[in-house]
Each structure stands twice: as structure tokens, then as C-alpha cells.
Amino acid sequence: MAQAKTFASQADMEVKQVTFTKLSDHAYAYTAEGDPNTGIIVGDDAVLVADTQATPAMAEDVIRRIREVTDKPIKYVVLTHYHAVRVLGASAYRPQQIIASQDTYDLIVERGEADKASEIGRFPRLFQNVETVPPGMTWPTITFNRKMTLWLGSLEVQLLQLGRGHTKGDTVVWLPKDRVLLSGDLVEFDATPYAGDAYFKDWPTTLENVASLKPVALVPGRGPALLGEERVAAGLKSTGDFIADVRKSVEQGVKAGKDLNAVYKETYATLKPKYGHWVIFDHCMPFDVTRCFDEMTQYPDPRIWTAERDRQMWETLEG
């Protein structure tokens, strides 16, 4: 009998190499070989950070890199979505404002505590020095619907909701002047999209909306910064292809009347040759297929992941 896989990414303990890349006169990408990325915008009078890292201790390394290029105050933290690995480092920046979409705020209210417990259990390496996270949730101090514009002196920064995809609250950070985009987990590159809280039917259209901005540089949620229109297009296409391929396989299984277990095994086998080399493929696939199966059957909106539900799902599909 085949040995059961270790739960989620609990066995992933390899330290990743950090890269700090300049994208334009105002934008930088903090990336780490497929670990969650952080985007940095430096305006005339202030700095904006999008996605904070998972703990304040980990955020200190981002701050150290920022201080190598500017001494301007970090006034704004933007949460591209609600996932713990993106938001729990916020306190380290001591921002004047934490900004998120109203949809993201609502998700924190509804499922923030459960999601925090489940994420820390899945991927302990990403929560280094988790004891440095303040009690409770990371709460936005400003929320918006669809679009908000910030002016960092003369630099225009747009916060845009371009549609549901990775979550219902997804926000991108767009610099019209530089044509640089910080996408959060709407776009990944050489890394498997996590789709446990996703909207498979909406995500492709949302990616088309991202493409219509015509970015010349893009910071994906995971993977290296994408420089040049060709690389940006490749990131958008590979993310869209993965989501479409999961959905196609799951839909075929559902139409054939198969249960989740059978659909998962077929979908995993179908996608492994094309995407199996991507970071966290084995981690994401059970969550992705479960969510897609839910959406195709009886749950238009994602169900809350708890630590207990994570384990039950993993046992059912991989045990």
C-alpha cells in the first residue's frame, strides 16, 4: 500500500533564498523561491507595503530591505486578501493605516480565526516566530469597494477589485504611471495556485481584467517578479490554465456522478505531468479539488476551513 503523504506542508522545512528586485523607480518585489511575496511602493513622502509576511519577525526582514533603499515612513499596509500568511506580520510595520476591500474585512469577521489556526497547522515553516503575532486578528482601519486611489505625494496608487478569484475580496495594487501591478494570489508563477477559497467560474474573467491593464511588471503572490509584457502574459496564462484544467477535470467527474475521492485522484493524475514540478503542488491539490468540487455541486461560496476540516479532508483524499 502506498504511504500516506505528510499533511499539507508540515514536512517542508527548507529555508528559501530571498530576492529583492527593483521593478521601477517606485516599486520593489520581495520574493523567496515560491514562498509568499511582498510588494513595496515608494512614493514621494511615504512607503506602501502590500502583503506583510506571516509574522512580525518575518516582516522585519522586509523592513530591513526597504531601509536599504529609502528612509521614508511606511504609512500604508495593503492586504490583498485575508489569508493569515499575508496579514499577520502587519504590526511590525507600525503603519498609519491598514487598507483592505470591504469583502476582505467581511471574510476576516466571518472566518479569520478559523483560517489562522488552519494555516498555521498546514505550513509551520511560513509562521516563523509565530509567538510574535499579536493576539487577535489583523484589522483593516480603512476599507473600500471596487476602487480606491492613494496619492503618495505626486505618485498615484490605485487599489482595485477586478473580480473574484483566489478569494471574493481580492485586491490588486496598480501604479498607472509605471504600469506595475502587485497581484496578490490572483497570479502565481511557477507556483501552484491555492484555490481552497476560490471562485473557479470567476477567476478566468478576473485574470482578463488584470491583463487589460497591460502591466509591464507584476509581483505575483508566489514566484519571481515578472518583468516585461511577455513574462507578465506568461504568468497570467499559466495561472489561468491551471484553474481551467482543475475545473475541466472536476466538472467531467461531477457530470459522470463520481464522488470527491475519485474526482481528486483523477484530477491529480491528469494535472501532475504538467504542473507537478510547481512549488506546493501536493499541498494545494487536495484543497483546490475539494473547493472546485464544492462549487460544481452545492456550495457556490467557499466553506470555512478549520484545522479539523483540513485534517478530515486530507485523511479522506490522501490517507
Over residues 65-107, the pLDDT tens digits come to 999 999 999 999 999 999 999 999 999 999 999 999 999 999 9
Q: What is the pLDDT of residue 10?
A: 53
Q: What is the pLDDT of residue 7?
A: 59
What is the Cα–Cα distance from 51 to 66, expressed in whole angstroms?
A: 14
Is 210's pLDDT higher than 80?
A: yes
The DSSP bridge partners found for residue 152 are: 155
Is 215's pLDDT higher than 80?
A: yes
Is 125's pLDDT higher than 90?
A: no
Is 12's pLDDT higher than 70?
A: no
Over residues 171-195, the pLDDT tens digits come to 999 999 999 999 999 999 999 999 9
What is the Cα–Cα distance from 99 to 105, expressed in whole angstroms?
A: 9
Over residues 54-69, the pLDDT tens digits come to 999 999 999 999 999 9
Are the beta carbons of 171 and 79 closer than 8 angstroms? Answer: yes
Is 108's pLDDT higher than 90?
A: yes
Which domains, and CATH codes, for the chain?
19-245 (3.60.15.10)
Q: What is the pLDDT of residue 13?
A: 59
4 phi, psi to nearest 5 deg: -65, 145
Instruction: Return the DSSP state at 36.
Output: E
Are the beta carbons of 9 and 125 closer than 8 angstroms? Answer: yes
Q: What is the pLDDT of residue 77?
A: 98
Structure-block grid coordinates of residue 127: 509562521
Over residues 281-309, the pLDDT tens digits come to 999 999 999 999 999 999 999 999 998 99
The confidence band for 130, taking pLDDT boundaries of 50, 70 and 90, is confident
pTM of the shown model: 0.94
